[in-house]
Every structure is written in C-alpha cells, then in structure tokens.
Amino acid sequence: MSPYSPLPPFQLTRALPEDATDAALRSDVLHGLTSTPKTLPPKWFYDAHGSVLFDEITMLPEYYPTRAEREVLVARAAEIADVTGVRTLVELGSGSSDKTRHLLDAFTELTTYVPVDVSESALRGAADTLLAEHPALSVHALVADFTRPLALPETPGPRLVAFLGGTIGNLLPAERADFLRAVRGMLSPGDFFLLGTDLVKDEATLVAAYDDAAGVTAAFNKNVLAVVNRELGADFDLGAFEHVAVWDGEREWIEMRLRSAGEQVVKVPALDLAVEFGPGEELRTEVSAKFRQDGVRGELRAAGLELERWWTDAAGRFAVSLSSVSMEG
C-alpha cells in the first residue's frame, strides 16, 4: 500500500507566519543599513513592480541567462525525465512557474508539483495556469522561504527538486553550503536535484547583463529603496542614488550596488533609524556568483550530492546540472 494519500488538484500550505514578511524586512533593513559596508538582500526587489521590471530584464538583449537556461531545459527535458523517472517535481523559488512549463510536457510520469515561494499570490496564479494546462496534475503549493529549514509534503517518489534561474548565485559561499546541505536533507535515495548556474565568461558580457543600455536594471535595483520607503516609511530619494554593476574577478561574481550621489541622511521611522551616507558611498544590493563545472561539482559533493549530468546552451553561457544523493558517507 502506498505511504501517501492521493492529493487533490490544489492544496496550499503556509509554512510562514502571516507577519513573517514584515518581520524579515525589518530585520534585514536594520541589520543591512547598520553594517559596514551597507547591504540590502536582493529578495526585496520583488514586489509587484519589481517583478514586472525583472520580466522586462529577461527580455533585454544584454540579459542572456533566461534565454540560455530555457534553451537547455527545452533541449534536455526528455532526457531529464528519462534519467529521473520523476513523479514529484519540487521547485524552490518557483515564482510564476514559467520555467516549469519547459519540463512538464516531457515528464509523462509526473503526478505532483510542489512550488515553493514566499508569495501566496504568485503560487495561486501559477497553479491556476498550470492546472488549466495539465488538469491531471496535483499542485501542492508551499508558502515558505527556501533559505530556511523546509518540510516538504508527503508526495510520490522519485522526487526532483529544482532550483533554477541561476538564483543560487545570489547566495554567499557559506549560504550556498547551508542551502545545498538542506537540499540534500530533502532527498531520499533515488531522488534528484536540478540546478541552474550561470557560468564565468568575459567581463564585458557579464557587466552588460546587469547594466543594460535601456536602464531597466537600474530601475529594478532602485526598486528596493522604493519597497523600504513604502513598507517602513523611509525617505530614500531614488534620484540620489546611482546604479552600479561591477565584476569581482577574484570572487567571480557580479555585485550590484547603489552609489550615493552626495552626503545624505535617510530616515526609517518604522525602525527609529537614521542612516548617514557619504558622497560616493555604496550600498550592496546583490551578489550574483558565476560558476565553473569543477566548482559546482565540489560544492555539491561537499553537501552529499553527486553530479550526474552537466548540460549547457550552445554558446556555453549557462549550465543546468542533475545530481543524485551521494552514496558516500
């Protein structure tokens, strides 16, 4: 007898308290704006306006990652399905689930999709669309932060946990190690992990992808200040900050920053906080690490995962890898 009960077409489980988003924002802003150097996490880009701006970014000529990953997923979906025999697909940071659509038609054995995201509205919207296209699918949406300990619902195996879009590059090395160990903890023998990673390439291509000629990425970067203004009553003057994207060749990551045009004091009433910025002082808003195959293999192995397949787009810009549970240790 199966250890699980068949799931209804749609379920939603909230693993975050109703006030978790507000509490997390307050904590991140207080910590980040009182640190040296000042920082704000990139997850706060993505309110409704920020999500629209990011969709625009993915269509810009300079921004190759979305197109390159899509090329790999479309070309390799059948092979992924054949290797994994997946019956449950878990997608971390699923958002609108657009990337999932490149896989579902090929996953003929799939019965259950578990999208994980902090946005309940995004999860419900994606589920409506996917169930209209795949009425036999069960969707169990999980409102949760994938960077925190996560308990997945009981679903049929084998499972494929997917983390796409190159989002792993937004985590610092120690955070990546913690995240990959957490992913390993979600998997049983016979399960798999599908990971999207942007690859190291020439500096000009990388910087252009984060500093487009049309200025869309600049507006997206400054949107984090608009979010803090709206949610915490801050008085950031968006026009007093300049978007900056730089390549750190030693760490092999892009940093997005906001540079203060002059001396200014920003007040955040909800935190009873006044923040001084000097002329030219920079606030880091995102790190986007780029990867090499050997490095990805090593990080996966350290977490108890073994790299099984490595695919790139034709130009070698972006990789999608498939890993299984390591039998060592």
Averaged pLDDT, groups of 10, the chain, 329 residues long: 60 84 94 97 90 93 97 97 96 87 90 91 88 92 88 93 96 96 95 98 98 98 97 97 98 98 98 98 98 98 97 98 83
Query: In this predicted structure, what is the pLDDT of residue 4?
Result: 52
CA atoms within 13 A on the CB side of 70: 11
Q: Residue written as tokens 């009433």?
A: 269
Domains of the chain as residue ranges with CATH: 10-16+62-201+292-325 (3.40.50.150), 29-60+207-289 (no CATH)
pLDDT at 7: 55
| Residues 102, 55: Cα–Cα separation, whole Å | 17
Residues 6+ apart with CB under 8 A from 155: 4, 7, 87, 88, 111, 112, 114, 140
The pTM of this model reads 0.93
